Structure formats: structure tokens, C-alpha cells
Amino acid sequence: MNFGISILFRAIPLLMGAVCLSFGWYVFAGGDDPAHRTAGHVLMALTAICIALFTTAAMIIRQLTRTFAPIWKVVLPVLGYGVAVATAIWGLVIRGGASNADFVAGHVVFGVGLIAACVTTVAVASSAFTLITANAARRHEDGAPSGAYGRAVMLGLICIPATAALVLVVWAAILLTDSAEAPRYIAGHVMIGLAAICASLISLVATVSRQVRNEFDEPERWAWTIWVLAMGSVAVVWGLVVLFASDRPERLAPGCILIGLGMICYSVVSKVFLLAAVWRRRFVLANRVPLIPIFTCLACLFFAAFLAEAATTDPGLFIPARVLTGLGAVCFTLFSIVSILEAGTSVKS
């Protein structure tokens, strides 16, 4: 990877974060109605995921360009986890607001903070990323290399997204036990989609850390990919059920947003699939895998465009039209990460 491309791939997450932050503030300041307030808060919160993805990009690229120093093992995780915790706390603060818009936005922002923490965990798991290619040339029986982190660390890293997913599922279930109230109905369904993303990141953290420790083997080669595909499909199908199983007016926002969250899960598939496909084998289509998050990004943006037009006659589509734009930005950021993985792991000849 040359210097120019490495700068570009690190700039993409920051640029998309700037888009989410600026667009979120623009929407938030654009009106006093609850829809502007909810959509603005969620869009600004998505910046945290972009920053967390930047830490992952920087962690891997500095190893590939041989500019990695031990200090980055501290600076980058502190940045990612710091932003994630701040976002989660911000969500809890918003949740305590007096309006229903604050109740919904607070729950979603809290969930976004947990996703940012899970993404930062991918960065931590990638702190010995170059061992993956070295291990691919070795045998599974050779065991973990001397430079890899311990098994306890690996299990601890995997537990972070697993715990985040569990927290979101339980919280969503609690909210949906009283789904007759519109704010609880909306927040509960969206948190299911956020939990699906955290659950998808279990696969990515597990794949990276197990390859770093040379424990990744044939029985699990495609298991993690199937898991992420299942999580994405759960989010999309759940969204369709929410949209078409009732005629409640408040179903529109969570139903559409769940589909967008499913697109993020499908973007994560590209990374898990790529790491599995190139492990101890040559995959000739490796350089095509980064197209997956491009397609999911376009799906979110086109969907958002249709919803924005439909919102002129149905105000219930205002929030999903804006939020899906931010989700498209996150998908495009994931294109940067999978491109970095492809550059660092695939065999070119």
C-alpha cells in the first residue's frame, strides 16, 4: 500500500464522520419539531462509529506501512473507546429529556455508542494484524506465534460485542413489552437492529483475533460469514414485518431504519467473508469484495432519496430519510476498511 492510498483510506472515515456530524447539526437546527430533533441527534451520534472505524483503519495501515509504534496501541483505542463512552453517556442524558423525541433519540444514540465500542474492539484485535499473513503461511498445529496476545485477551475482546448485543436485545425486549406506547415501540424495534450490528461484529472480532493467534481453522471458515448474513437478514426481515404487519403510523421510521441497519450488517459481511476467503488460499476475486459496502451504501442513499420525496406527503418518513443518509455514510466508511483488509491479506500472485 503506497502512502497516498493509505492517507485516502484513513481520510474516508473522518470525512464521513464530518458528513454525519454536519448533516446532523443541520437537521437538528432546521426546525423545532420532534422529527428534526430525533433525526439530528441520531445523525450526529453516527460520527462515533466513523471515528471508531478510523481507529481500525489507522491501526492496520500503520502496520502495513511499517510506521507502527507501540504508542498507537494506546492512543487509538483510547480515542475510539473514549468517543464510544461519551456517545453512550450522551444518549442516556438525552433519554432523560421531557419529550418523546428525546426518549427515542436517547435510546438510539446509546446503542450507537455501544456499536462504536464494538468497532473499536476490532481495532484492538487488529493491533497484531500483520501476524495474520504470517500465520497463513504456517500450519494450524504450529500454535500461536510469540507476538500474539493471549487467549484470555482474545476471549475478552470477543465478549465486548457479545455483551453489547445482549444489553441491546434485553433493553429492546423490555421496551417492547409495552409497545402500545409509540416511543417505546420505535426505540425498541430500532435497538433490535443495533443489536444485530453488535452481534455481527462478534464475527469480525473473532475472525481477526483467531487468525492473529493462528487458531482459525476450516470448521469455522464460513460459519462466521453465515452468522453475519443471518444478523443482516434478521434486521431486514424484522423491518419488513414492522412495516407491513400493522397500520400504525409510527411503524414507518423503525421499519425503514431496520432495513438500513441490515445494510450495515451486510457491509460487515464483506470483511468477515474476505478474511475467511483468503486464509491459507488464493481468492482471485478478493479485490471485488470491497464492492459490497459500495452497493449497501448506494442502497441506503437511494432508499433515503425515495423516502425524502415521499416525506413531502407523509411526515412519518422524514426521520428515516435523514437517518438512512447517515447509514449510507457508515457503509461507505466500511468500504475503506475492507479495502485495507484486502490490501493486507490477499495473495496477489
pLDDT one-digit tens code per residue, 86-127: 999 999 999 988 789 999 999 999 999 999 999 999 999 999
Could you give the angle at which helices 34-64 and 100-125 cross, rounded to 10 degrees? 0
How far apart CA 182 and CA 144 sit, in angstroms, is: 51
Lookup result for grid cell 464483506: 270
Lookup result for grid cell 459481511: 269
C-alpha pair distances (Å), 304 with each of 143, 219, 242, 256: 48, 39, 18, 9
The alpha helices in 130-222, defined as continuous H runs, are 131-136, 151-176, 182-212
The type of residue at 30 is G
Query: What pLDDT shows up at residue 347?
Result: 55
Query: What pLDDT shows up at residue 141?
Result: 84
Residue 330 near residue 16 (C-beta atoms within 8 A): yes
C-alpha pair distances (Å), 201 with each of 50, 109, 165, 194: 15, 18, 9, 11
Query: What pLDDT shows up at residue 348?
Result: 52
Domain of residue 301, residue span: 3-345
Judged on CB neighbours under 10 Å (0-12, 13-18, 19+), 328 is: buried
How far apart CA 182 and CA 287 sit, in angstroms, is: 45
Query: What pLDDT shows up at residue 142?
Result: 86
C-alpha pair distances (Å), 72 with each of 5, 59, 336: 20, 7, 20
Lookup result for grid cell 433490535: 192
Q: What is the dihedral of CA 136, 60, 161, 50, to 10 degrees?
A: -150
How far apart CA 252 and CA 4 sit, in angstroms, is: 43
How far apart CA 65 and CA 152 sit, in angstroms, is: 29
Query: What pLDDT shows up at residue 349?
Result: 43
Cα end-to-end span (Å), the chain: 16
Query: What pLDDT shows up at residue 182?
Result: 93
C-alpha pair distances (Å), 63 with each of 106, 129, 151: 37, 7, 22
Lookup result for grid cell 433519540: 105
Query: What pLDDT shows up at residue 48?
Result: 98
How many structural domains comprise the chain?
A: 1
The type of residue at 349 is S
Instruction: Give Cβ neighbours of residue 87 (< 8 Å, ≥ 6 apart).
Output: 45, 48, 109, 110, 112, 113, 116
Count CB-CB contacts under 10 A for residue 222.
Answer: 14
pTM for the whole structure? 0.95
Query: What pLDDT shows up at residue 346?
Result: 66
**Helix, strand, coil percentages for the chain (3-state, nearest 5):** 80, 0, 20
* pLDDT per 10-residue tile (average), the chain, 349 residues: 86 97 95 91 98 97 92 96 98 90 96 98 96 89 89 97 98 94 95 98 97 92 95 97 93 97 97 93 89 97 96 94 97 94 71
Query: What pLDDT shows up at residue 237?
Result: 98
Lookup result for grid cell 400504525: 248
